[in-house]
Chains A and B, each alone.
Chain A
Amino acid sequence: DSGVTQTPKHLITATGQRVTLRCSPRSGDLSVYWYQQSLDQGLQFLIQYYNGEERAKGNILERFSAQQFPDLHSELNLSSLELGDSALYFCASTGTSGTGDTQYFGPGTRLTVL
Chain B
Amino acid sequence: DAKTTQPPSMDCAEGRAANLPCNHSTISGNEYVYWYRQIHSQGPQYIIHGLKNNETNEMASLIITEDRKSSTLILPHATLRDTAVYYCIVRVNNAGNMLTFGGGTRLMVKP
Contacts and interface: CB of A to CB of B under 8 A. Distances in A.
Q: Which of B42, B49, B96, B103 counts the most chain A CB atoms within 10 A?
A: B96
Given A42-B103, A102-B49, A2 B98 contact: no
A94 B102 CA distance: 21
B45 interface: yes
A101 B96 CA distance: 6
A8 B44 CA distance: 18
Interface residues of A, number: 29
A43 B43 contact: no
A92 B38 CA distance: 14
Interface string A86-113: 0010101010000011111111101000
A114 B76 CA distance: 44
A50 B98 CA distance: 12
Interface of A: 2, 4, 31, 33, 35, 37, 42-45, 48, 50, 55-56, 58, 88, 90, 92, 94, 100-108, 110
Give 5 nearest A-B pairs by CB, closest first: A105-B43, A43-B101, A45-B98, A105-B44, A107-B43
